[in-house]
Structures are given as structure tokens and as C-alpha cells.
């Protein structure tokens, strides 16, 4: 299932060759579209020449439709694609600054390189100005670091924001793009005196085909996490069967006292059990929240260890599957759940109770009060580790490599 790791398929230099070919092709396409000329690029802001709008929007909606169409067919795991994390207000201010620079300079970062490569003097000076701006930003960012990192929303998409299926957004964006194409042509006719009768007729067929593919994408729907597990969960299932992701209570306590691991604890039990007892710093998570990792507030680009806790292992294992299928690394399960934790660190402080009905994920201990994390066993003293013997470490932190992408 895509995306594929090019380096493992082709080797390092094969991967570099593919990147070079893609970059070369992109540059040639920009030059053939006239994007190496600042006058053509700036003309869009005066509604005389909207080729930039039409070309870029065509590229965006075509890529969007193909990505979600192949994802709906089970050929692509969308969660493994790079999506820029959202910093709302810095993004808005940055967009305004870039827009002003685009109007004044006639280039964006990518097209200025095309202009420079074709020996255009204004392209060269735009690139030099951009490099100088990068230097100034790097030297001054500490002065406004608070704003620079503010309003963080993680990997936020339109369908996450509006709470609608991805296919609905795909159809909506395609309709919006087609409306903008039509509006752009009318503006060119009015301000640029463009004769629309001379435009190629095949563009109507292309628009219809794009809309048809978008409708097929919406009809297919995106695969559920359960469907993804049935297709791609084989390797992860072996980790569960070998119990490589189930950590002992003693290792968990060691992690809780280690400030260098960036420990995050998610408690997936019912609210009643959580209120009775939970580990220090544990955050209660609903299963529906874990289905959309953005809603958890977790930043997948940060090196951290996530441990999921339940009363036993059933609910925690189900939650582990949901989280790891969304390409979140370093996720573990508290082996034996909080029942084993309490039996280990508070064997006499709370009374075991007889289970009734379904034995899965019921709390085995009776509490006289809902103490939550105020219970002594919520964070036992680190000294008790010496009396409990050695444990086999399971946690192996995979360093997160930040995926990057985007234009310019």
C-alpha cells in the first residue's frame, strides 16, 4: 500500500534521481506555463491574466481527487502523507506578507527560482532578497517566538474541522474550483479583453471528468480504521502476539519518574472508573476521540512515549490499534492494566471485588471514595522499584523524523 519508501525500493541514489526528475519536470512545467515571467504572475492581481490561479488550482484539485480516490480504493494510506501542521494566526499573517511580496516582486519562492534559472534579472534579485529575509527571520524569531508558535491545531484538515466525510469536502472543493475557473475567465474577459471563444473546448470535458471522479470518491467513502487494520495490520498484530508493546507496571513506574521520555498517559476506561482511580497525569480519552488523532491535541512530530491504560488489556489494545494505524510512533499498553498495577503497588489498600457479567475491562478493586490521581498508588515512590526485582525493558523510542513538503 502506498506511499512507498523510495529509499528502501531504489536505494539512496535512486531516490535522489527520482527527486531530481520530479524537480526538473516541475521546473519545466512552470516555465512552459509562463511562470518564469514576473509580469505574467503579477497580472493575476489585476484580473488580466489568471493562468496562475487556474494552473495551481488545477494541480491542487487533481492531486486531492487522486489522493482520496486511491485511499478510498485501499491503494493509499492517507494518514502517512505529510500534511502541514496548522498554526492559525501565524499562517494568516505569513500569507498576507507573502501576498504583498508576490504583488510587489512578481514572484513566489518557487517561481523566482524558475526565473533565475532562465537568466531573468528580477528573478535573481527576488531570490537574493528571499535569502536575506530568511537570514533576518532566523536572527529575530526569538523576539516573537510566542506568536510564531501560537494557535497550534496540529494536522488539521477541512473534514476534521467541519466534521464531515472526506468525500463531501472533495466534491465541495472541486465545485468551488470549477466556480473559480468560470469566474476567472469572466474577469479575464472583462479586464484582460480575452476572447473566450478561442479557449479549448476540451476543458469542459476535463472539468466533468474531475467532478465525476470526486463523486466516485464521495460514494466510495474512506476506509474505516477497522478496514485499514484488516489490510495493513499484519505487522502490528505480530507485535501484539509477541507482547512487545505491553509494558510491565515496574517499567511504567520507571517511565513516570523519568522526565526525559516525554511520557503521555491515555486512560481509555469509563468515566466512573477514571474518577475512582487513575495514574498521575493520565488523560481520559474516548474511543471516538482516538479515531481522529488531531482531536487528542497530540503533536506527532514530537519525540514522546504514549502509554494507554485500561482496567485490563482489552480496551487498551483496541485503542492501541486505532492510534498506531494513524502512524503515531512509540505507543505502548500497560500490561495487565490498572488491575495488575493496583495488585502490584497497592495490594492491601483497596479490596478486590468479584466480577459480574462480562469479565473484560472491569475494575477488580473496590474504593470507598473517588480519589482519582490523589490515590497513593497513582504515583508510587520510585524507591519501591528496588524491592520488585528487574524488569525487561520494552520501550524503544523511535526518533521522529519530521516529514516535510509543500511549495517553496
Q: Name which of 59, 95, 287, 79 is nearest 166 in CA terms.
A: 79
Q: Which residue has the higher pLDDT, 397 or 20?
A: 20
Q: At what angle do helices 225-232 and 314-324 cross, to 10 degrees?
A: 80
- What are the tens digits of pLDDT across the range 91-144? 999 999 999 999 899 998 889 999 999 999 999 999 999 999 999 999 999 999
| Mean pLDDT (whole number) for 308-316 | 93
| Mean pLDDT (whole number) for 269-284 | 93
Q: Three cell numbers at 57?
A: 488550482
pLDDT above 70 coverage of the chain, percent: 91
* Beta strands 331-334; 351-352: pairing state: unpaired
- What are the tens digits of pLDDT across the range 357-396? 445 678 888 888 888 999 989 999 888 887 787 788 888 8
Separation of alpha carbons 71 and 2, rounded Å: 9
Separation of alpha carbons 285 and 308, rounded Å: 9
| Mean pLDDT (whole number) for 79-98 | 88
Report field, pTM of the whole predicted structure over 0.75: no
Domains observed in the chain? 6-227 (no CATH), 234-387 (3.40.250.10)
Separation of alpha carbons 373 and 278, rounded Å: 5
Enumerate the β-bridge partners of residue 333.
Answer: 246, 308
- Pick from 89-93, 237-241, 337-341: least confident: 237-241
* Secondary element (H or E) of residue 307: strand 305-309
* Secondary element (H or E) of residue 190: helix 166-191
List the alpha helices (DSSP H) in 73-118. Answer: 88-105, 109-117
- What are the tens digits of pLDDT across the range 327-336? 788 999 999 9
pLDDT above 90 coverage of the chain, percent: 48
Separation of alpha carbons 275 and 369, rounded Å: 9
Q: What confidence category does residue 196 fall into, taking pLDDT thresholds of 50, 70 and 90? A: confident
Q: What confidence category does residue 279 fall into, taking pLDDT thresholds of 50, 70 and 90? A: very high
What's the pLDDT score for residue 352?
56
Hey, is 185 helix, strand or coil?
Answer: helix
What's the pLDDT score for residue 293?
72
Amino acid at each position: 500500500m502506498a506511499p512507498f519508501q523510495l529509499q528502501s525500493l531504489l536505494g539512496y541514489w535512486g531516490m535522489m534521481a527520482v527527486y531530481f526528475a520530479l524537480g526538473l519536470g516541475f521546473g519545466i512545467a512552470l516555465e512552459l506555463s509562463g511562470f518564469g515571467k514576473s509580469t505574467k504572475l503579477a497580472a493575476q492581481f489585476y484580473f488580466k491574466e489568471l493562468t496562475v490561479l487556474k494552473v495551481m488550482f488545477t494541480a491542487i484539485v487533481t492531486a486531492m481527487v487522486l489522493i482520496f480516490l486511491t485511499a478510498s480504493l485501499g491503494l493509499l494510506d492517507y494518514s502517512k502523507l505529510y500534511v502541514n501542521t496548522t498554526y492559525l494566526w501565524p499562517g494568516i499573517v505569513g500569507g498576507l506578507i507573502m501576498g504583498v511580496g508576490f504583488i510587489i516582486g512578481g514572484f513566489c519562492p518557487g517561481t523566482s527560482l524558475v526565473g533565475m534559472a532562465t537568466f531573468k534579472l528580477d528573478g535573481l534579485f527576488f531570490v537574493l532578497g528571499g535569502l536575506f529575509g530568511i537570514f533576518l527571520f532566523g536572527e529575530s524569531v526569538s523576539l516573537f517566538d510566542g506568536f510564531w508558535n501560537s494557535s497550534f491545531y496540529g494536522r488539521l484538515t477541512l473534514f476534521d474541522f467541519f466534521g464531515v466525510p472526506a468525500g463531501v469536502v472533495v466534491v465541495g472543493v472541486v465545485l468551488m474550483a470549477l466556480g473559480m475557473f468560470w469566474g476567472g475567465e469572466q474577469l479575464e474577459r472583462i479586464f484582460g479583453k480575452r476572447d473566450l471563444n478561442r479557449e479549448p473546448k476540451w476543458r469542459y470535458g476535463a472539468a466533468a471528468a474531475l467532478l465525476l471522479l470526486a463523486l466516485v470518491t464521495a460514494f466510495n467513502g474512506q476506509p474505516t480504521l477497522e478496514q485499514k487494520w484488516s489490510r495493513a495490520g499484519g505487522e502490528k498484530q505480530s507485535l501484539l502476539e509477541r507482547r512487545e508493546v505491553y509494558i510491565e507496571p515496574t517499567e511504567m513506574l520507571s517511565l513516570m519518574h523519568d522526565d526525559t521520555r516525554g511520557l503521555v498517559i491515555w486512560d481509555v476506561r469509563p468515566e466512573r472508573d477514571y474518577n475512582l482511580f487513575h495514574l498521575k497525569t493520565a488523560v481520559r480519552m474516548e474511543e471516538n476521540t482516538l479515531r481522529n488523532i488531531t482531536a487528542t491535541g497530540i503533536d506527532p512530530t514530537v519525540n514522546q512515549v504514549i502509554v494507554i491504560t485500561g482496567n485490563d488489556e482489552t480496551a487498551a489494545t483496541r485503542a492501541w490499534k486505532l492510534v498506531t494505524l494513524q502512524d503515531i510512533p512509540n505507543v505502548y499498553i500497560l500490561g495487565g492494566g490498572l488491575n495488575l498495577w493496583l495488585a502490584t503497588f497497592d495490594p492491601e489498600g483497596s479490596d478486590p471485588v468479584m466480577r459480574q457479567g462480562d469479565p473484560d475491562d472491569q475494575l477488580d478493586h473496590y474504593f470507598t471514595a473517588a480519589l482519582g490521581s490523589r490515590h497513593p498508588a497513582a504515583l508510587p515512590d520510585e524507591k519501591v522499584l528496588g524491592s520488585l526485582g528487574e524488569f525487561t525493558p520494552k520501550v524503544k523510542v523511535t526518533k521522529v523524523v519530521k516529514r516535510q513538503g509543500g511549495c517553496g
